[in-house]
Amino acid sequence: MFGNPSLMTRIAVGKLVGFAFGLIGFVLLPYFIPDAPMMLRFAIMLWYTTVGAFIGVFGVFNYHPILHLPMPWWFRSFWVGAWMNFVLVLFIYDTLAAIMVSYFGESGFIQSPFWLVMEGALIGLVIGFFATRYGGEGKETLEDETGEA
């Protein structure tokens, strides 16, 4: 299963690692925010599973065709994780702002919800590492056993 580069393996590993991070968020969120709604907890769990799937899919693109630049796994994973969490912050900014203020206080060090973008970038790096390690990267992930795409 882990011998040859495979897009399906990349996606499966990405989703598995993303789900693990989402499950950690699901379990730990009530410790940070005791009145966290169940819908938010499930959303976090499923969000990181989706981020893992996107990082897995983007492993096919290891070279930018327009800029003619290589895109190593750490570059792709960092930006996909950061971008996805940036979109998450835009969707639930008010809820995240209230959570940050309730947990860190009005003048707390981390009161901006946009810190979640950096968290997404770091989680993206971890997901990308494992997806590349076990699923490979580049065009090779699209080939079948005969070597044809």
Domain limits, the chain: 7-139
Within 10 A of 41 (CB to CB), how many other CB atoms are there? 18
Q: What proportion of the chain, given as a percentage, has pLDDT over 90?
A: 52
| Rounded average pLDDT over 50-66 | 90
| Rounded average pLDDT over 48-64 | 92
Nearest C-alpha neighbor of 88 from the set 114, 67, 68, 69: 114
Instruction: Summarize pLDDT for 82-120 with one digit per residue, the tens.
Output: 999 999 999 989 888 887 887 777 777 778 889 899 999
Instruction: Summarize pLDDT for 135-144 with one digit per residue, the tens.
Output: 888 777 787 6
Report residue 14's pLDDT band, with 50, 70 and 90 as the boundaries.
very high
CA distance 96 to 113: 6
Q: What proportion of the chain, given as a percentage, has pLDDT over 70?
A: 94
Contact 14, 131 (CB under 8 A): yes
CA distance 77 to 82: 8
